[in-house]
Structure 1
Amino acid sequence: MTRSLQENVDSIVLTGTPAVPGVVAAPAIRPVPRIRIQDETARVPESDRASQSEALRHAAATVAQRLRERAARATGAAAEVLSANAAMAADPGWRQAAEAFLAEGRSAAAAAVGATEQFAAMFAGLGGLMAERVTDLRDVCDRIVAELTGAPEPGIPTPAGPSILLADDLAPADTAGLDPDLIVGLAMSLGGPTSHTAIIARQLGIPCVVAVGGLDEVPAGTDVLLDGGAGRVLTHPAPEAAAAAVAGYRAVAERAARWTGPGATADGHRVEVLANVQDGAGARAARERSAEGIGLFRTELCFLDRESEPTIAEQAALYGAVLDAYPAGKVVIRTLDAGSDKPLRFAAHAEEANPALGVRGIRITEQDTGILDRQLDAVVAAANGCRHAPWVMAPMISTVAEAKSFAARVRARGLTPGVMIEVPAAALMAAEILRYVDFVSIGTNDLAQYTMAADRMSARLAAFTDPWQPAVLRLVAATAAAGRTLGKPVGVCGEAAAEPLLACVLAGFGVTSLSAAASAVSAVGAQLAAVTMADCRRAAEAVLSATDPRSARRAAADILN
């Protein structure tokens, strides 16, 4: 924590990790605290235990249904997270653990807390992406306890005017419900730049800084200036300085709002600017934001919170809604990316010591090829009548053999095959993989996690998973070079593509398409339109000479700004 010599004497500058760019100034608010049970060890008479069990069952079912309804109204990552949380509330394993506490004489509320902490300890011990589920799990428990006790559901208060939300951590379920007109900024003590909360904040267009040191000491009501691009939170800013900073960013945002595509640099070099979506509503919103097409269609929504595998017809209906939004445009469909923090109820997931390094993505469908075959058949059914066959890519590819096998299945159905580059092994073998597929798309979120051996959800390790890490960018550059040599497209669909300055660097590497949350599309397109390809290449060269994220950012900014 350091004092700023240019601001008020009471001003304090707090630094964190940039997550969503934007500059806003407003008073701070904080979430409603978690409900505390006065005596978790109190015992209820045996005659009341059946009624306590029924009360817990009813409360959990009510919360699950509310989350499902919110998921139905949401889009993109928000819908996925809400669906996953609904599944948590209805999880039979959690209910069984709670019943054990009820049998000991605990109240329904105490049993819910006991079961939750039991699962939280297990998830935390597993590490990786499973550790992120602890926040979600406790959030679901808080909602169940509130339902049991008749208390208001915990979450974010509705402020009287625009406010900046400060929190230790924020459940994605709460983030998904934020109103961007009232919550204009978000700062968290914990979290990483690619956590679900940060991804949802980007989808909503809310400037966000994560892993902010000293944030706990800032009380609600404090005037705050937040710079999401710089990872900076300033308390008690001088009013004139805050107004100037906000006005400067608004000018940039207004320039972005005028961009209507297509994606190209100032000297006419084409770089497709696409959107990441999860359903038809998200695709239609992306079209309104001038996205040229869909660079990442996540298909998990159709599978999560299901007791049985969705039918081909059910899948085709979901896929068709996205294809209908871009009947003549490019749509890249990613096959099921489940496992790890997104288990499937109908798939036999064995317990794993480290699920993030276990059976997920393409590895699930290799164990049961019928899941993949039926999904590809559903894509074919959905694409019937489309002018262009969809592109289809597989997640978590690690070997050339996996890519070759997947490509054969896709081509047999008349579709265009590609794979995700999320594992360093795939990046290093990109040239060999590209001999069998027609394109690749780099998922920078997982690529950063696996390259840096750092859980992308860990606040203490957030600096390691910064998308500007030189080691990660060198793998991206090597993959792009392989694509140029073979004349095949290389896209980026991770969160790195949503950062305008970094998007220009990626174009300089030779990346041919950038796919981001719909809210980031216009800013990326406008930044590309303001620079030449020569600028992008010079910035790319400068970044590859950097040894840390801060110097990489500075090197790019010196050239591109």
Structure 2
Amino acid sequence: MPELRGVGIGLGVAQGPVARMAAPLPPPPDERSTRSVEEETARVREAVSAVARELEERGEKAGGKAQDVLEAQAMMAEDPTLEQEVDDRIAKGKTSEFAVYDAFASFREQLTALGGYLGERAADLDDVAQRVIARLRGLPAPGVPDPGHPFVLVAKDLAPADTALLDLEKVLALVTTEGGPTSHTAILAREKAIVAVVGVADAAGLEEGETVIVDAAAGVVVTEPTDDELARAKNRADSRAAAASAPITPGALRDGTEIPLLVNLGNAEGAAEAVALGAEGVGLFRTEFLFLSSSQAPTVEQQRAVYEKLLAAFAGKKVVVRVLDAGADKPLPFLNDAHEENPALGLRGLRALRASEDILREQLTALAEADAATRAAGKGADLWVMAPMVATVEETEYFTKIAREYGVKTAGVMVEVPSSALLADRILAVADFASIGTNDLTQYTMAADRLLGSVATFQDPWHPAVLRLVREVGEAGRAHGKPVGICGEAAADPMLAVVLVGLGATSLSMAPTALADVRATLLQYTLGEARAIAEAALAANDAASARAAAQAAASTSSTAAEAAATREKETEQ
């Protein structure tokens, strides 16, 4: 059976005809305009304004995180610096189309060089430029096709404007030729529970209309499937849907070992959905949204109102709040907006907060007041607070001390850089818990910018080097009797979740839609089996081999468990 291999997102399987994303518009020719400067300028203004309004409208329809992304794109389209760059080119006699193409490309290179948060925004510039040029040419905006029937979408990758409004009644699955497990498309697939296989280089050869099976659990796209293969895939999909509607139980292994399944949230609005999907608490509450859209830090009162809403929504459950993770990669005028040559290695996270300690103290004040208020109202949660980007024991001591000044009972650190993983035994002698951010830990371990497509293949948390560091933290947690959570994208990968538990993770936090798959997968293995599967992955030399070794070990464990269950039934009879 012909198979195209990539990285599967989740455990889903789907089948249907291929519909390909339209190819990008070709670059406009560099030629002199036959129009006046005034005419070309007016054309650009109209096109940019129309595109910006369309992006805003799409955002209003999408809501939530997608709206924030699309509104940011609309602002980007009308950025005064970009407008001046386009005007300069038109003044030199260039056409509107070429002026937009050249100016946006130049600006994109500048942002890409900055890396971090701004580097991530640079990728969105391509989509904005394409939409403006299409408007100038009188062509439909590039985007998701609409063949009039459900389809498997095949694309190089997806832009935020396209992903925000995907019709999930029509898009059966996603297949991309680029991207990795932490790419924008992969994150979207997890958030919306879309069957997806990313990084399938050979998918460029798939033909429009041909039927394929997209098997995320195996990380393959099956071409030319037989009737039997199609029937088996449908049965698997039906079984998975039935399992998802089964009663929700706490996260646990087959032997009863408890593994609480928590959620990552960026705002309090997502709490209700998370609870409905079985979240046992919050493993990572990102507080950046309170700060990133402001020209000045939010007041204690503004922060407290949000924290109270969050804690009340998870009354009686654990809620882990990360203090502001910003700095040079997410420049804030009131924190640190100084240019840095390599912002990913600069003044970010706890380093930035120490340089502006009043912001940290105000945030801790707001959290303490929200905790007290919700407890007084009988709606209190178990509040844990952690610091981002902790690299040393001294930083751990600093944060835990200042947190305790404000009455924080459980103060921990995020393990995102190799130094903190290697010093985990000493760090956990001070901190109450550790939470491993696998996205950044992978980035720094592999020296591969998590937002840079050219090194996406290195950005894989399955790599044994990353898994070894996770084991260091897990062993330190066991030695000190301290909890070790996982709050990066890795926890949403069901088989990797088993490996992480085998390495010592005591809780897993993920996007709400990933909870069902991870819960079902954990129930298939005992703690001893999880440790054996983890050891198999650790013995590999690269990420792909680690993934394959874990799957092979898991298959052996499942077969042995089935045989034991059969023998038990025979004995009972």
Q: What TM-score does the superposition give when structure 2 sets the normalisation length?
A: 0.87
Seen in structure 2, the aligned counterparts of structure 1 residues 492 and 524 have a Cα distance that, compared at 3 Å, is same
1:227-306 equivalent positions in 2, closer than 5 A: 227-306=215-294
Aligned-residue offset at 1:305: 3.8
Deviates more, 1:277-286 or 1:355-364: 355-364
1:149-188 equivalent positions in 2, closer than 5 A: 151-188=139-176
Q: Deviations over 1:344-403 (max 9, x none)?
A: 365542333333223332233233223323333333344321423521222222122222
Q: Secondary structure at the match of 1:546?
A: coil
Q: Distance in 2 between matches of 1:264 and 1:159?
A: 43
Q: Distance in 1 between matches of 2:47 and 2:333?
A: 22
Match of 2:550 in 1: 553
Deviates more, 1:261-270 or 1:14-23: 14-23
Q: Distance in 2 between matches of 1:55 and 1:367?
A: 44
Aligned-residue offset at 1:271: 0.9
Seen in structure 2, the aligned counterparts of structure 1 residues 467 and 247 have a Cα distance that, compared at 3 Å, is farther
Contact preservation (8 Å) 2:11, 2:494: no
Seen in structure 2, the aligned counterparts of structure 1 residues 481 and 31 have a Cα distance that, compared at 3 Å, is same
Q: Distance in 2 between matches of 1:321 and 1:264?
A: 28
Match of 1:65 in 2: 56
Contact preservation (8 Å) 1:256, 1:525: no
Deviates more, 1:61-70 or 1:473-482: 61-70
Identity across the alignment (%)? 43
Q: Secondary structure at the match of 2:292?
A: coil
Question: Which residue type is aligned with residue 304 of structure 1?
Answer: L
Q: Distance in 1 between matches of 2:88 and 2:220?
A: 47
Q: Are 2:128 and 1:140 equivalent residues in the alignment?
A: yes
Q: Distance in 1 between matches of 2:161 and 2:308?
A: 27
1:287-326 equivalent positions in 2, closer than 5 A: 287-326=275-314
Aligned-residue offset at 1:217: 1.9
Match of 2:525 in 1: 531
Q: Distance in 2 between matches of 1:86 and 1:375?
A: 30
Aligned-residue offset at 1:328: 1.8
Q: Distance in 2 between matches of 1:546 and 1:137?
A: 39
Deviates more, 1:207-216 or 1:31-40: 31-40
Seen in structure 2, the aligned counterparts of structure 1 residues 140 and 376 have a Cα distance that, compared at 3 Å, is farther
Q: Distance in 1 between matches of 2:306 and 2:528?
A: 41
1:497-508 equivalent positions in 2, closer than 5 A: 497-508=491-502
Q: Are 2:23 and 1:21 equivalent residues in the alignment?
A: no
**Aligned counterpart in structure 2 of residue 411 of structure 1, from 381, 404, 413:** 404
Contact preservation (8 Å) 1:17, 1:463: no
Contact preservation (8 Å) 1:192, 1:458: no
Aligned-residue offset at 1:132: 4.3
Q: Secondary structure at the match of 2:81?
A: helix
Seen in structure 2, the aligned counterparts of structure 1 residues 61 and 323 have a Cα distance that, compared at 3 Å, is same
Q: Distance in 2 between matches of 1:344 and 1:88?
A: 17
Larger Rg: 2
Match of 1:402 in 2: 395
Aligned-residue offset at 1:435: 2.6
Seen in structure 2, the aligned counterparts of structure 1 residues 385 and 320 have a Cα distance that, compared at 3 Å, is closer
Q: Are 2:382 and 1:385 equivalent residues in the alignment?
A: no
Q: Distance in 1 between matches of 2:501 and 2:342?
A: 35
Match of 1:204 in 2: 192
Match of 2:563 in 1: none
Question: Which residue type is aligned with residue 22 of structure 1?
Answer: G
Contact preservation (8 Å) 1:480, 1:490: yes
**Which stretches in structure 2 are left out of the alignment for 5+ residues?**
559-573
Deviates more, 1:112-121 or 1:473-482: 112-121
Deviates more, 1:388-397 or 1:283-292: 388-397
Q: Distance in 2 between matches of 1:305 and 1:149?
A: 34
Q: Deviations over 1:261-286 (max 9, x none)?
A: 21122222111111112123322111
Q: Distance in 1 between matches of 2:25 and 2:463?
A: 39
Contact preservation (8 Å) 2:115, 2:451: no
Contact preservation (8 Å) 2:48, 2:77: no
Contact preservation (8 Å) 2:49, 2:78: no
Contact preservation (8 Å) 1:189, 1:212: yes
Q: Are 2:508 and 1:514 equivalent residues in the alignment?
A: yes
Match of 1:9 in 2: none
Aligned-residue offset at 1:70: 5.3
Contact preservation (8 Å) 2:193, 2:513: yes
Seen in structure 2, the aligned counterparts of structure 1 residues 61 and 226 have a Cα distance that, compared at 3 Å, is closer
Contact preservation (8 Å) 2:43, 2:136: no
Seen in structure 2, the aligned counterparts of structure 1 residues 440 and 392 have a Cα distance that, compared at 3 Å, is same
Q: Distance in 2 between matches of 1:26 and 1:279?
A: 35
Contact preservation (8 Å) 1:454, 1:461: yes
Seen in structure 2, the aligned counterparts of structure 1 residues 46 and 530 have a Cα distance that, compared at 3 Å, is closer
Aligned-residue offset at 1:449: 1.7
Seen in structure 2, the aligned counterparts of structure 1 residues 397 and 108 have a Cα distance that, compared at 3 Å, is farther
The aligned length equals 548
Question: Which residue type is aligned with residue 365 of structure 2?
Answer: D
Deviates more, 1:274-283 or 1:486-495: 274-283
Q: Secondary structure at the match of 1:234?
A: strand
Q: Deviations over 1:394-441 (max 9, x none)?
A: 222212222222222322222232111111111111122223321111
Q: Compute the RMSD of aligned alpha carbons.
A: 2.8
**Which stretches in structure 1 are left out of the alignment for 5+ residues?**
5-11
Seen in structure 2, the aligned counterparts of structure 1 residues 250 and 465 have a Cα distance that, compared at 3 Å, is farther
Match of 1:118 in 2: 106
Aligned-residue offset at 1:150: 5.9
**Aligned counterpart in structure 2 of residue 98 of structure 1, from 68, 74, 86:** 86
Question: Which residue type is aligned with residue 98 of structure 1?
Answer: V
Aligned-residue offset at 1:93: 3.4
Q: Are 2:207 and 1:219 equivalent residues in the alignment?
A: yes
Q: Distance in 2 between matches of 1:553 and 1:496?
A: 14
Aligned-residue offset at 1:253: 4.7
Aligned-residue offset at 1:254: 2.8
Seen in structure 2, the aligned counterparts of structure 1 residues 46 and 144 have a Cα distance that, compared at 3 Å, is closer
Deviates more, 1:123-132 or 1:268-277: 123-132
Q: What TM-score does the superposition give when structure 1 sets the normalisation length?
A: 0.89
Q: Secondary structure at the match of 1:438?
A: coil
Q: Distance in 1 between matches of 2:97 and 2:41?
A: 14
Question: Which residue type is aligned with residue 477 of structure 1?
Answer: R
Q: Secondary structure at the match of 1:385?
A: helix
Q: Secondary structure at the match of 1:390?
A: strand
Contact preservation (8 Å) 1:467, 1:496: yes
Q: Deviations over 1:77-107 (max 9, x none)?
A: x455445434533544333433433443445
